[in-house]
Every structure is written in C-alpha cells, then in structure tokens.
Amino acid sequence: MRTWLNGLILASMMWAQGAAAETVLVVGDSISAAFGLEIEQGWVSLLEKRLARQDESHDVVNASISGDTTAGGLSRLPRLLTEHDPDVVVLELGGNDGLRGQPPLQMKQNLAAMIERSRDSGAEVVLLGMRMPPNLGARYTEAYAEAFDSLAEEADVAYVPFFLEGVGGVPGLMQRDGVHPTAQAQERLLDNAWEALEPLL
C-alpha cells in the first residue's frame, strides 16, 4: 500500500511539473500596448484568449509601452527576464526608432542584444519586423528594412518581416493617425505573429 501511495505521489509531482505553464513575454511599443483601444481589444490579449482556448498551460505577459524604442526595451529587458522567466520572448520594437529617424544599425544592435540576452535566459525569440513609410526616403526605408532582414538571418530567429502586413494603409484597419491599427485589425496582427510564434509553443 505504501509503495503504491508513494508511486501515486511521485506521478502527481511529475504531472505537475510537466503541466507547468509556459510564459510568453511580449516586449513592444504602442502597437502591442493597444494604443487608442481597450487593452482587451489588443492583439496580445487576443493571443492570450487563443492560447486559453487551445491549451490552458500558457501565461502571456504584455510588457509593451507606448513610445518605447529598442534602446528602452533593451534597458528594461534584464528585469523582465528575471521577473517573468519566459519561455518565449516576442520582440515588437523598432517602429519608434524609425519614425524618429534613428540609425538602423543602432536599432539592429539593440535588437541583437535583446535576442542574445533572451536566449541566455533560456527563452526562444520571435522578432516582429516593421517597415517605414516611403516619405522618409528610399535610402532610409531600405536600410531600415535591411536591418531587420539581416538580423533575422544572422540570428536565425523566428521572424515576421512586416508585422502590419495586410493592415498598414488599409482603410478601416488604421486609426485616424495613420500609425496605429484599429480594433478590427487586431485579429490580423495576431495571425501575422502566430505564424512565427505557434511552432515555439
């Protein structure tokens, strides 16, 4: 009887360890912070709901801040990794770097450091890329896109080249400022991210 009971306890402990929730940490800017919307309408909240429908053993932490840059994300990341010990880190930063005309090389270096630190903590990484509007000039927009593309290849990271694919510039899917997606666009944003994220979960 005692042997059977001990075996049952051991099996329960092993099951509990195997069922430990995986944590997805999203480090982003206003696009992921649901700027102009209720937070529950944003794509990160929709991700949490999708995972709950499929598998309850996932926690989603949204550490996105409107206006944040890659430099800001890099400075915040060590504390976030220590606090949440994520299994997957989703990086959605760089849009504000571009809108401020900051050097694409510096953006790339910041993101590369974030990828390295996330991996050193034991997490896998998804990089959500961005593209700049043509009014910033062809030379800058091309260098900006190349920074994301080359980083994804060099780091061999799960990658979405343009997170706003199918959303940016589409009537009804962008707010009046022309920068932030509407509530109607959030499911498309989730689908864009999901393609790279799902294989890691």
Q: Which entry of 12, 59, 180, 191 is annotated as an active-site residue?
A: 180
Are 89 and 127 a contacting pair, CB within 8 Å? no
Our answer to whether residue 121 is catalytic in this structure is no
Are 162 and 148 a contacting pair, CB within 8 Å? no
Amino acid at 95: G
H helices present in the chain, as ranges: 2-18, 43-54, 70-84, 95-99, 104-120, 138-155, 186-197
Q: Which entry of 12, 29, 30, 75 is annotated as an active-site residue?
A: 30
Our answer to whether residue 156 is catalytic in this structure is no
Tokens, residue 29: 């800017």
Amino acid at 137: G
Q: Helices 104-120 and 70-84 sit at what angle, rounded to 10 degrees? A: 10
Our answer to whether residue 55 is catalytic in this structure is no
DSSP secondary structure letters along 47-74: HHHHHHHH-S-EEEEE---TT--HHHHH
Q: Helices 186-197 and 43-54 sit at what angle, rounded to 10 degrees? A: 60
- Residues annotated catalytic, as ranges: 30, 177, 180
